[in-house]
């Protein structure tokens, strides 16, 4: 596996004595897509947690996902897809997304609790939420719906990540239209397979597992590692599941292993003062032998916490060029103690 980086250096002078200081930065190339990621703005990965009581106070009163409202406010699916209207598992509810960005979109709540601190999200809770989403995917698949191609779970946890609500929930959708980065990865993995005759993700995991610099650990068929060219400012945690092409190939054991690893990532980033993240599934279609199911867990934080400056600025928003404030290999060393399975 070829990991390319372009090393750069900036020289600045001290205004008083004109002594020089060299500031390093690095432009890394994602080994699959060639997407570039800058490792720069080096700083200690440490943020202050806010006063959560103050942040949360009163938000439950207008929360549509709280138990007193969720069943009266949220809509039903069309009867040919889900005859009972919504899917329910204990206190978790899955219903149509009323702000759809595709034709088959759902939202699944994580139950009746309005605020669940990141460190109180258990593997069992994630498994239960994911299983509810999988029930939706199976209904879509069984209905032979034309959108039953890519089955995706996304998670925005807490407002910093883009969540408009405190109440924990998942974005669940089935689509024939792969989102940008997923489509670029699928195209690149197909090309890699065509040219080399091997699967990029299998090769990546093999290389990272033996090289160890970014490898975190393995639970069952799921390998956990830090991305070489991360999207998040505090790095990304990548999980790749061996032998799995698409979401519906995942077994109950895989889902449990994934849930466990996600809670380990949450615990590790919590120690840095991070309390928000995005998590996206990246899946192939069911016969896409050239790819492997993987997911990205990307912590979200601030460039300036006091001002509430988000960690996405012009360079990321309009160029889609990412910045990471530490070397992924150092981030790996910070996270690794949590990834002993």
Half-sphere CA count of 153, side-chain side, radius 13 A: 30
Task: Please choose, from the candidates 139, 166, 202, the residue with its C-alpha nearest in 3D space to the C-alpha of residue 50.
Answer: 166
Q: Which stretch binds Zn ion (CB under 5 A): 109-117, 215-223, 266-274, 331-339?
A: 109-117
139: which residues sit within 8 A by CB, 6+ positions away? Answer: 81, 82, 87
Residue with smaller CB distance to Zn ion, 165 or 323: 165
User: What residue has token string 């460039």?
Assistant: 303
User: From CA 104, how far away is CA 91, in angstroms rounded?
Assistant: 22
**Contact assessment for residue 40 and residue 323, using Cβ atoms and an 8 Å cutoff:** yes
Specify the DSSP element, H or E, that contains 46.
none
Interface residue with Zn ion, options 37, 39, 66, 326 (CB under 5 A): 66
Binding part of the chain for Zn ion, among 15-23, 63-71, 126-134, 287-295 by CB under 5 A, reads 63-71
Q: Please identify which residue in 38, 128, 167, 292 interacts with Zn ion, judged by CB under 5 A.
A: 167
Q: How far is the CB of 277 from Zn ion (least distance, A)?
A: 19
Q: Which of 329, 144, 314 has its CA nearest to residue 235?
A: 329
Quick one: 86 or 167, whose CB is closer to Zn ion?
A: 167
Least Å distance, CB 152 to Zn ion, is 24
Nearest Cα residue to 237 out of 338, 121, 117: 338
Only one of the segments 7-15, 65-73, 264-272, 295-303 lies at the binding site for Zn ion (rule: CB under 5 A); that segment is 65-73
Q: Which of 35, 38, 86, 114 is the binder for Zn ion (CB under 5 A)?
A: 114
- Closest by alpha carbon to 136, among 176, 168, 103, 96? 96
Site size for Zn ion (CB under 5 A): 5
Residue 258 binds Zn ion (CB under 5 A): no
- The CB-of-112 to Zn ion minimum distance in angstroms stands at 8
Q: Note the residues at the interface with Zn ion (CB under 5 A).
A: 63, 65-66, 114, 167
């Amino acid at each position: 596996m070829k990991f390319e980086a372009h090393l750069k250096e900036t020289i600045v002078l001290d205004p008083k004595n004109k002594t020089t200081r060299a500031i390093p930065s690095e432009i890394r190339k994602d080994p699959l897509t060639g997407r570039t990621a800058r490792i720069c703005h080096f700083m200690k990965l440490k943020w202050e947690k806010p006063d959560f009581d103050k942040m949360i106070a009163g938000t439950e009163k207008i929360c549509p996902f709280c138990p007193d409202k969720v069943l009266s406010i949220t809509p039903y699916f069309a009867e040919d897809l889900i005859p009972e209207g919504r899917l329910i598992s204990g206190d978790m509810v899955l219903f149509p997304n009323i702000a759809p960005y595709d034709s088959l979109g759902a939202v699944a709540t994580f139950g009746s609790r309005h605020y669940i601190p990141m460190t109180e999200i258990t593997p069992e809770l994630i498994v239960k939420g994911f299983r509810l989403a999988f029930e939706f995917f199976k209904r879509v698949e069984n209905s032979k719906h034309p959108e039953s191609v890519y089955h995706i779970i996304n998670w925005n946890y807490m407002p910093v990540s883009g969540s408009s609500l405190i109440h924990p929930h998942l974005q669940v959708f089935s689509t024939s239209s792969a989102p940008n980065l997923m489509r670029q990865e699928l195209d690149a993995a197909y090309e890699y397979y065509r040219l080399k005759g091997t699967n990029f993700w299998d090769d990546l995991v093999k290389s990272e597992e033996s090289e160890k610099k970014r490898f975190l650990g393995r639970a069952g068929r799921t390998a956990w590692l830090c991305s070489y060219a991360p999207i998040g400012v505090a790095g990304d945690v990548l999980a790749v599941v061996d032998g799995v092409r698409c979401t519906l190939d995942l077994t109950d054991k895989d889902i449990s292993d994934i849930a466990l690893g996600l809670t380990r990532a949450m615990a590790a980033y919590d120690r840095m003062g991070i309390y928000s993240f995005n998590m996206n599934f990246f899946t192939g279609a069911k016969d896409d032998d050239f790819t492997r199911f993987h997911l990205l867990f990307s912590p979200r934080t601030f460039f300036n916490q006091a001002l509430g400056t988000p960690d996405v600025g012009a360079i990321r928003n309009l160029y889609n060029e990412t910045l990471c404030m530490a070397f992924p290999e150092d981030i790996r060393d910070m996270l690794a103690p949590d990834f002993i399975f």
